[in-house]
Each structure stands twice: as structure tokens, then as C-alpha cells.
Amino acid sequence: MKFRRRPRVESGIDITSLVDVVFLMLIFFMVSTTFTNRAHLQLTLPEARANPDALNDAALELVVTASGTVALNGRALVNSRIETIMAALAEASGGDVKQPLVITADASATHELVVRAMDAAGRSGFSRLRITTRLPEEGGG
């Protein structure tokens, strides 16, 4: 006599409930996590102490214009590459990196050029760096 074999049922673990539990735990941990606000860090920021009118005549002046031109002591540089700025600073200072350097940038100049000028000054070894600003006009709203 021939018996019919029943189709074999695949046995396995039903992980549907496991996925539900893991998902609920994920939501719980995301909701219950506390985040620290870094804005409450106490910083000691520097204050300006020098008189702005007391600029030394021996200071080098690096000017960044709105058109992207960089000039050192009134002489326009060939281009605004960092290597060019560093070479001009080395030539104008005569290797004296203790000399003050004033960076003056037009309000419409790109931040990239101003940062490039600051980077060139830092790489050249200048530590007495000033960035000029102007006071807001009185009553100009």
C-alpha cells in the first residue's frame, strides 16, 4: 500500500515579533536620548585693548578688494594664489615676521580671499595680525 506523503512544512522561527520589538526599542532610545547643547560652553574670548588709531607705520598692509585683487602696501599682486601672497609677504617684510600685518578687506570681498590672506600670513609666520573694520555709521539705520 502506498501512503501519500504530506508536504513537508518548513520549520523556522517567526521573526515578525522580534522585528517589532527591535523597532519599538529603537524608537524608545531615540526619544529618551538627551542631547547636550554645546552653546552653553564657557569661553574666554579676547578683547580689543589697543587704540585703533595707534597703528604702527612699519606695519604691512594687505588689502583684499571686492574684485578679487590682492595688494600689499599699495602694490597689486599678480594673482591671489596663496603662494604669491606668501612670497610677497616674505619680500616686503624682509623675513621679519614680528612685524605687524594689517589685513583690510572690502565688505563685498569673498570670504575665501580673506581666509586665504589670513592663511598666507599664518603660514609665513606672522603672529601680530590685525583685521581692520569700520564702525557703523551713526544714524544711518
Task: Please identify, in words, the CATH class of the domain defined by 62-131.
Answer: alpha beta
What's the CA gap between 127 and 113, in Å, rounded? 19
- DSSP for 59-107 reads -EEEEE-TTS-EEETTEE-S---HHHHHHHHHHHHTT-TTS-EEEEE-T
Q: Which three cell numbers stand for residue 59?
A: 606695519
pLDDT for 13 equals: 78
**Cα angle vertex 66, ends 62, 110, to 5°?**
85
Instruction: Report the DSSP pairing between strands 129-131 and 75-76.
Output: unpaired
pLDDT > 70? residue 81: yes
Q: What is the mean pLDDT of residues 20-24?
A: 94
Calculate the average pLDDT of the chain: 80
Q: Which of 7-16, 35-44, 56-65, 119-128 has the highest mean pLDDT?
A: 119-128
Query: Which tens digit of pLDDT belongs to each residue from 51-68?
Result: 555 555 578 889 888 888
Query: Which tens digit of pLDDT belongs to each residue from 89-113?
Result: 999 988 888 889 998 888 888 889 9
pLDDT > 60? residue 88: yes
pTM of the predicted protein model: 0.56
Tell me what percent of the residues of the chain surpass a pLDDT of 70: 77
Query: Which tens digit of pLDDT belongs to each residue from 123-140?
Result: 999 888 888 866 555 554
